[in-house]
Amino acid sequence: MIVKICGITNQEDATAAVAGGANAVGFNFYSGSPRHVTPEIAAAIATPPGVRRVGIFVDEKPARVQEIAHAASLDTAQLHGNETPEDYPEGIAVWKAARVRWGWDPASLIGCPAEAVLLDGPVGGKPFDWKMARGFGRRIILAGGLDASNVEVAVSVMHPWGVDACSRIESAPGRKDHQKMADFLRAARKALGA
């Protein structure tokens, strides 16, 4: 099971996330994000063995994803753009992200060769109606508006492989509120039985 803290920009937040029970941390390489980091910054943020290092990419060329993955010691590429399986980078696990909104067709991801599908809210920091994707039949990581107040309900509805939190556990974009993060991690691990 995956318990991920996304939007990590500094060592202090990464250390607190891992200490609280996160087994995955996300580094955002999309330049339009307030949580954007360079490969050099991500590489300098240490994580212990066994903690999955995930890079967030939006419509990035596979060769560039591979280059950043090597430079930042990534284990997984989380793809948020219009990538097709032909655009997936080689030599790294892929999580394909999809924004769930009214009219979203889960059939669009049938046959997707990604290790997991990350289901995100329609806009940053907002949850979607989890019942819309219930029974999806894939390895799912649930994201979008999760925090300690709702992760238990989300897990009970979706039964995901993992959960991912970012903006609702921050004090400012790219800076985690360590109490909110600890509360989320405790609630998430309990809900997932981890």
Active site members: 6, 120
Residue 45 DSSP symbol: S
Distances (CA, A) of 119 to 90, 93, 171: 22, 17, 24
For the chain, counts of helices (H) and of strands (E): 5, 10
Residue 78: phi and psi, rounded to 5, are -100, 110
Rg (the chain; Cα; Å): 15
Q: Is 170 left (phi over 0), alpha (psi -120 to 50) or beta?
A: beta
